[in-house]
A and B are shown apart, each in its own frame.
Chain A
Amino acid sequence: MLRYAVQRLLLAIPVTLGVLLIGFILLNLVPSDPATVRAGPSASAEVIAQIRTEMGLDRPLWDQFLRYVGNVLIGDLGTSLVNNMPVAEELSRAFGATLELVVLCLLWALPTAILLGMFAASRRGTLWDRLIMGGSVAGVSLPVFLIGMTLLWVFGYKLQVLPFTGRGGPLWTVNGLRHAILPSICLGLIFIGPVARMTRTSMLETLKADHVRTARAKGLSERVVIFRHGLRNALIPVTTLVGLQIGYLLGGAIVTETIFSWPGVGRLAVGAIVANDIPVAQGAIIALSLGFIAMNLMVDLLYAALDPRVQAK
Chain B
Amino acid sequence: MNDDKTIVAQGARPVLDIRDFSVELRSGKTISPIVDKVNFEVHEGRTLGIVGESGCGKSMLSLGIMKLVPSPPACIAGGKVLLDGTDLVPCSEREMQEVRGNRISMIFQEPMTSLNPVYTVGFQIIEALRAHSSLTSAQARSRAIDLLREVGISNPEKRVEEYPHRLSGGMRQRVMIAIALACNPRVLIADEPTTALDVTIQAQILDLMRSLKSDSGTAIILISHDLGVIAEMADDVVVMYAGRIIEQAPVHSLFAAPSHPYTQGLLGSMPTVDGDQERLQPIPGTVPPPHDRPHGCAFHPRCKLSDETCRTQRPPLEEKISGHKVACWHTGLGARP
Interface of chain A residues 200 through 235 with chain B (CB within 8 A)? 209-211, 213-222, 229, 232-233
Which of B39-47, B94-102, B292-300, B317-325 touches A?
Answer: B94-102
- Tell me which residues across on chain A come within 8 A of B101, comparing CB atoms: 217-220
**Interface residue? B163 (CB, 8 A):** yes
Which of B74-82, B126-134, B152-160, B275-283 touches A?
Answer: B126-134
Complex-state Cα separation, A306 to B128, whole angstroms: 21
- Tell me which residues across on chain A come within 8 A of B289, comparing CB atoms: none
**Interface residue? B86 (CB, 8 A):** no
**Would you call B165 and A214 a contact (CB within 8 A)?**
no
Complex-state Cα separation, A123 to B176, whole angstroms: 31
Complex-state Cα separation, A307 to B68, whole angstroms: 27
Complex-state Cα separation, A217 to B110, whole angstroms: 14
- Tell me which residues across on chain A come within 8 A of B116, comparing CB atoms: 211, 214-215, 229, 233
Select which of A213, A233, A308, A312 is within 8 A of B108 by beta carbon: A213
- Tell me which residues across on chain A come within 8 A of B66, comparing CB atoms: 217
How many residues on A have C-beta within 8 angstroms of the other chain's C-beta atoms? 22
Chain B residue, CB-CB nearest to A212: B116
Chain B residue, CB-CB nearest to A232: B118
Complex-state Cα separation, A213 to B115, whole angstroms: 10
**Would you call A210 and B118 a contact (CB within 8 A)?**
no
- Tell me which residues across on chain A come within 8 A of B114, comparing CB atoms: 210-211, 213-214
**Interface residue? A309 (CB, 8 A):** yes
Chain A residue, CB-CB nearest to B94: A221
Interface of chain A residues 260 through 313 with chain B (CB within 8 A)? 306-309, 312
On whether A211 and B127 interact (CB within 8 A), knowing A217-B68, A218-B101, A312-B166, the answer reads: no
Per-position contact with B for A219-254: 1 when CB-CB < 8 Å, else 0? 111100000010011001000000000000000000
Q: Which residues of B contact A (CB under 8 A)?
A: 66, 68, 93-94, 96-102, 105-106, 108, 110, 113-118, 127-128, 131-132, 163, 165-166, 176, 179
Q: Which residues of A contact B (CB under 8 A)?
A: 209-211, 213-222, 229, 232-233, 236, 306-309, 312
Sorted nearest first, the 4 A-B pairs with minimum C-beta distance are: A219-B101, A219-B100, A218-B101, A210-B113
Instruction: List 19 A-B residue pairs with CB atoms under 8 Å apart, sorted by A's residue number.
Output: A209-B113, A210-B110, A210-B113, A211-B113, A211-B116, A214-B116, A214-B176, A215-B116, A216-B68, A217-B68, A217-B100, A217-B108, A218-B100, A218-B101, A219-B131, A219-B132, A222-B93, A229-B116, A308-B118
- Given A215-B116, A309-B163, 20 additional A-B pairs, CB 8 A: A210-B108, A211-B113, A211-B115, A211-B116, A211-B117, A213-B108, A216-B68, A217-B68, A219-B97, A219-B100, A219-B128, A219-B131, A219-B132, A220-B101, A220-B127, A232-B118, A233-B117, A307-B117, A308-B117, A308-B118
